[in-house]
Structure 1
Amino acid sequence: MRRASVWIGLAYLFAPSLALSQGENYKEDLRVQPLRDGRVSTTFSFVTVLEGAVPRNPTALEQPDESQHYALFPLTLGQILREYAITELHLTLNAGKWNYDNWGHPNEAGVSTGAELWAWMGASEATTVDERWSGLRNALSGLFCASLGSLDSRRTTSPMVAFPLSGSTPPFALHELRHASLPSENVCTENLTPFLKLLPCKSHAGLAALLNPQKVFDADWHGMGIHVIWKEGTGVELKLTLQAVFNPVRTSAGKRRDWSLQSLFDRSIERSCPVASSSSVTVILPEEENYQITPQLPAHVDGLAVYDLSSLSNFTIPFNIAMFWPSEHSFQYPPPPLLPLTRLSVKRTIHGTTQTRGVLSVSVTNNSPEEISAGYLEMMPALLTLWMHTLKVEINSRIRCDLISGLNYHPPSPQPNGRLSPSTLQAVLTIPPKSTLKISMEVNKAFLKYTEHPPDAMRGWDLPGAVFFPLLRSTNNTSSSYDWERIYTPTLLVDLPTPDFSMPYNVIILSCTLVTLIFGSIFNLLTRKWVVVEILE
């Protein structure tokens, strides 16, 4: 602890000047929002901007790269970006299921269960995009202690419409997208530790000091994200995010929804990060007025309480924010029915009575009084084959083929390594106001070789969730029917035709038993000496 204090003190003296000389800027923010079901949503955002930086030209990979000197930008991640000439990168690791109806849209759209990685890379004759994609996956797998190396050609697709560039496009080459997801990936402390090492102050100071692994991984939902975007005229922006949804009602002895930073994280902020140009905590205030918040601010602007932590001398140390409802004896859940907080509500299931065939069903409900056009994306591994001639679109049990357009389906195709690529289904759905659109299609389940089954074959296989994305984005601050983020459906568990793995075990046990009996009997006959023993009375 003493050594950490010494390093932080040295950072106060030298880090600001280094940041200015290198053209780097770092800021951090925490958004806290009480939810209507008694839960509390927290979103940490750590943004580092490498001013004036430009992604590496992929056509010059054979030439030596210029030296990179970073003061705030993490060197380990910067070397990976330069080595594989990455223009834009997005990596998310999440655990749980995001409840869109009760929690609304998340602050960070990437909330798919498990691991999701997608990157934009420029084409090059020196090394192909697929070669650099393979190197990128393995490098990030080692950096974040995750199974990203498993995101091979069996899970890689290029859905460019659903995952467009978030930043600018460099003019030096045509860019291609690679996207892959691993829904069975678990998130644990091994992923959070390297995540914190990418921050300038690590977890010793600033908002990152609140990130207690025991509390974060006890949340109802938690996830972390790494986003690298290049913006022309600004530079390379690295945004590290961590989201968690806590349930104080569950952990409170009195079943109250009162919360504080100390109760949520079991930690408090004792010092600010010295290299942060901006550090703040924003609390989204609930609509009801029977709450109290401390420390009290003189004014709340637009339903927000903003605490500037650039100088903690204005607050009591250690710094802690608390919100409580003094008139409530215990939290009462809102009675049903509750109106969904999002314009679209999506449900997705797979059902069937056999292990070889089934039906994939998707139900999309438009909760708004306006018609919505949404993109629909299915990225299905070769474990399932979609029969497109059985595709049906219904509203109120009536076939409505006019509500689906732009249908684009790529079936699984063989790869040079002998494996099959995933199938991709993209379409445009038009959902009338206040109605539910149902999509269904038959699927075939693959019969795998016995060597391709995992150790827990009887558990089933995890299928990635479908993605619904807006076709148009709002260009101003006014409300728009298309001003919403991507929506991920929960993952599915499919039961494939599985051989009886107990039969080899039974055969081995029976064979060993027979061999033991036969061998033992013959061994006794050959080695035992039979003599007549006289018994004297």
Structure 2
Amino acid sequence: MKFFAALLLCVRVCWGFVRENYGELLTVKPLTSKHVLSTFEFTIDVNDLHDSSTDDFFDPGYTIVPLQIARLIKENQVAEMHLRFTRGRWDVELWGEIPKQGLSSGGTGLELWSYMPVERDNLHWYQLTNQLSGIFCASLDTIDSTNTYQPRLPLQAKVSQPNHAFYFAALPQESVCTENLTPFLKLLPCKTKSGIASLINQHLLFDTNWHSLSLDILPSNEGERTDGANVITSTQIVITIQAVHDVERRLRRPDKSVFYPPEEECEHYDDNGDRDGEHGKDPLTCLKAIRSPFAVHFYDFFGMPPKPSCPLSTNEHDVLVVGADKQSEAWYRLSDGRLQDDVVFTTLQQRHPDLVRADYALTNYGNHWSGISLMLTNPQPKNYTATAMSQLPWFAHSYLHTLQVRVNDTLLPKEDVLCQIAYRPFKDRVHNSFLELQFLLPAFTSVKIITDFEKSPIKLHEYPPDANRGFDIPPAIISIYDNTTLHSTLRTTSLLLSLPTPDFSMPYNVIILTSTVMALTFGSIFNLLVRRFVPLTHDKT
């Protein structure tokens, strides 16, 4: 009996390992002479995670899948989910196209997409946001009906499920800090004890020009049950941590600080390093700052020596160093001694003027009427189809009849440019207004969409603690399609909307003045009413 019990346990554990697969990869890619992109990607593949007939998260065979993520998927019937924490602005002109077509990063603040069953009261959606709030130490529990929306145009689900739809919410005011990074690292099987996660320095990560933390739950395969309904048979959990580092600031040391001239000074130098055509080379030429490769030690760049690879990872290599010409690639293993030597990042100054750009801004700054404009510029000799989604808070009353479309600064009828329009109007204190547009983006053309809105007064308790700073408006989400293939996904910058702000010191002043007057008046009257007046008598003797 003991032999058969041990044999059954071995089969059970081995079967569990077959159902799981774990891999991790660190990609280091130079963007410019001063900026390097580091991408930490952790992937977990698991089977039968959506099977509701068994409680797989209690199965001892599952050793890699995080218990809290498995419960979250099963309890809320999540078929697909995307969680984003992002800070900073991705400079398209300087850094080029955003990694992975922008699908692994979100807009400024917090962004959540979830493909789940459509319910009347959205119980699973709010339960999901509350659970994610506790797991990742974020204010996801503030998501309610005002900022929840079911998009129609921008994203398509990986699989098709009946009575399912995407739920979307964004919190642009969310500040990303180390409290959000620590839960991501705790989900990893090796934590930060080994593997590429041991190279993540929390203080250095958040001292970057742009950083993003993301969790993706993707259905990788879809099957059919005996009753004919579709079911997800395998799931992929992807944790991605990205950051754009300033190499000069990262490698700067008090004993050997080298400060290069700004980039605008490069106009005075030719290819030979001569200034203004004169002979004689300056030791701090832009040729050295921009065109010359330099060697970066892993210990200097990441702040710590590499540790051995995670034993659960099935990847043959752990580190990928991409060259500046996008052709030269070098693969490394953390256990390999080559990482102890210098790893050369060949850095070149590259401009990317031929990429689609998006500009998002407020117009007509005033206390009553204002507007919002979205401009897309296509400098390429190719036509694209674009879908854009934007939202405004409920106290910014947007009106669809004020929508204007300008193509190369020429006002055109919106029916001639826009293909589809999906609009959910605002409702005071119930939900925000959402606008989705699909239109053609011709070659060498800029399309500008303008909408006016009216600022509505709000109650005193509805102002944020720092009311004079303003209200954050989430970034616009633009998807660029080449025919029916997704080309890229862009996120604009978030906006800051200012409302007429009352003087919050006035209630305090009124309370103080009223209390003082009442105290003096009541005290005097009460003294006169309760005081006993006794005549003063004099003794004649």
Fold in common (TM above 0.5): yes
Deviation at 1:249, TM superposition (A): 2.2
Pick from 471, 476, 480 the counterpart of residue 466 of structure 1.
Answer: 476
Letter aligned with residue 243 of structure 1:
Q
Alpha-carbon distance in 2 for matches of 1:91, 1:473: 28
Deviations for 1:224-278, whole angstroms, at most 9, x for unmatched residues? Answer: 0000011216711000000111112234321467544323331221211000001
* Amino acid paired to 2:238: K
1:219-258 matched pairs, under 5 angstroms: 219-232=208-221, 235-251=234-250, 252=252, 253-255=257-259, 258=294
Deviation for aligned residue 1:384: 1.8
Please give the alpha-carbon distance, in whole angstroms, between the structure 2 residues aligned to 1:119 and 1:339: 36
Q: What is the Cα deviation at residue 208 of structure 1?
A: 0.3
Question: Which letter does structure 1 place at the counterpart of 2:337?
Answer: F
1:442 aligns with 2:434: no
Shift of 1:64: 7.4
CA distance in 2, matches of 1:273, 1:39: 28
What code does the residue aligned with 1:441 have? T
- CA drift of 1:72 comes to 0.7
Q: Pick from 17, 23, 31: which aligns with 1:27? A: 23
1:286 aligns with 324
CA separation in 1, counterparts of 2:131 and 2:16?
30
- The 8 Å contact of residues 384 and 482 in structure 2, kept in 1 or not, is answered as no
Deviates more, 1:38-47 or 1:248-257: 248-257
Does the 8 A contact of 2:332 with 2:338 survive in 1? no
1:121: which partner in 2? Answer: 116
| Deviation of the 1:316 alpha carbon | 4.7
Q: Flag structure 2 segments of 5+ consecutive residues without an equivalent.
A: 1-9, 223-232, 261-288, 532-541
Match of 1:77 in 2: 69
1:500 and 2:513 are equivalent in the alignment: no
Give the letter for the 2:235 counterpart: V
1:352–1:359 Cα contact (<8 Å) kept: yes
By how many angstroms is 1:372 displaced? 2.0
RMSD of the TM alignment (CA)? 3.2
How far did 1:120 drift? 0.6
CA contact (8 A) 1:54 1:230 kept: no
For 1:350, the equivalent position in structure 2 comes to 362
Paired residues of 1:269 and 1:320 also in contact (CA < 8 A): no
Determine the structure 2 residue equivalent to 1:426. 436
Alpha-carbon contact 1:56-1:85 (below 8 Å) kept: no
Q: Percent of aligned pairs with the same residue?
A: 32
Alpha carbons 2:384, 2:481 under 8 Å: kept? no
Aligned-pair CA distance for 1:24: 0.6
Alignment of 1:301-380 (within 5 A): 302-309=327-334, 312=335, 314-316=336-338, 319=340, 322-323=343-344, 339-340=351-352, 343-380=355-392
498 and 18 in structure 1: CA distance in 2 versus 1, 3 angstrom threshold: farther
Q: Secondary structure at the match of 2:318?
A: strand
What is aligned with 1:169?
160
Show the counterpart of 1:40: 36
Change (3 A) 1:268 1:106: farther
Q: Return the offset for 1:53.
A: 1.9
Q: Which amino acid aligns with 2:131?
A: A
Decide whether aligned partners of structure 1 residues 371 and 316 sit closer, same or farther in structure 2, where only a CA change above 3 A counts: closer
Distance 1:503 1:274, change over 3 A: same
Q: Is the Cα–Cα contact under 8 Å of residues 480 and 487 in structure 2 kept in the other structure? A: yes
Secondary structure of the corresponding residue to residue 510 of structure 2: helix
SS at match of 2:122: helix
Q: Which residue of 2 aligns with 1:510?
A: 513
Q: What CA distance in whole angstroms lies between the structure 2 residues aligned with 1:524 and 1:19?
A: 88
1:485 pairs, out of 480, 485, 488, with 488
Q: Secondary structure at the match of 2:300?
A: helix
Q: Across the two proteins, how many residue pairs are aligned to each other?
A: 469
Partner of 1:477: none
Note the residue ranges of structure 1 that are not aligned, 5 or more in a row: 1-13, 58-62, 288-300, 326-330, 475-481, 528-537
1:223/1:242 contact within 8 Å kept: yes
CA–CA distance in 2 between the matches of 1:196 and 1:228? 16
1:214 — aligned with what?
203
Aligned: 1:273 with 2:310: yes
State the shift of 1:55 in Å. 2.2
Tell me, in whole angstroms, the C-alpha distance in 2 between the residues paired with 1:37 and 1:423: 43
Do the aligned partners of 2:478 and 2:490 also contact (CA within 8 Å) in 1?
A: yes
- The Cα of 1:97 is off from its aligned counterpart by 1.6
- Between 504-513 and 343-352, report the one with greater CA deviation: 504-513
Aligned-partner Cα distance in 2 for 1:249–1:48: 35
The answer to whether residue 149 in structure 2 is matched with residue 154 in structure 1 is no
Say which one has the larger Rg: 2
Residue type at the aligned position of 1:249 = E
Q: How far has the Cα of 1:26 moved from its partner?
A: 0.4
CA distance in 2, matches of 1:273, 1:65: 28
Cα distance, 1:48–1:324 mapped onto 2, change above 3 Å: closer
**Matched-pair contact (CA < 8 Å) for 2:386–2:478:** yes
Paired AA for residue 96 in structure 1: G
Q: For 1:484, what is the secondary structure of its paired residue? A: strand
Q: After the TM superposition, which of the residue ranges 428-437 and 355-364 deviates more from structure 2?
A: 428-437
Aligned 8 A contact 2:481 2:487 in 1: no
**Which of 127, 133, 137 matches 1:141?**
133
Q: 1:129 to 1:176 in 2, by over 3 A?
A: farther
Establish whether residue 204 from structure 1 lines up as the match of residue 193 from structure 2. yes
Question: CA 1:396/1:163 → structure 2, altered by over 3 Å: closer, same or farther?
Answer: closer
* Paired residues of 1:98 and 1:111 also in contact (CA < 8 A): no
SS in structure 1 at match of 2:197: helix
Label 1:220 to 1:320 Cα distance change in 2 as closer, same or farther (>3 A): farther
Structure 2 Cα separation of the partners of residues 19 and 284 of structure 1: 37
Taking a change above 3 Å as real, the CA distance of residues 366 and 515 of structure 1, as seen in their structure-2 partners, is: same
- Deviation track 1:57-106 (CA, whole Å, cap 9, x = no partner) reads 6xxxxx87566422111111111111111111110111112222222232
Deviation at 1:339, TM superposition (A): 4.7
1:31 and 1:390 map into 2 onto residues whose CA distance is 46
8 Å contact from structure 2 (residues 80, 217) kept in 1: yes
CA contact (8 A) 1:215 1:264 kept: no
Residue of structure 2 equivalent to 1:408: 421
2:4 corresponds to which residue? none
Which range moves more in the overlay, 388-397 or 252-261?
A: 252-261
- Residue in 1 aligned with 2:463? 453
Contact 1:95 1:114 in 2 (8 A): yes
Shift of 1:169: 3.1
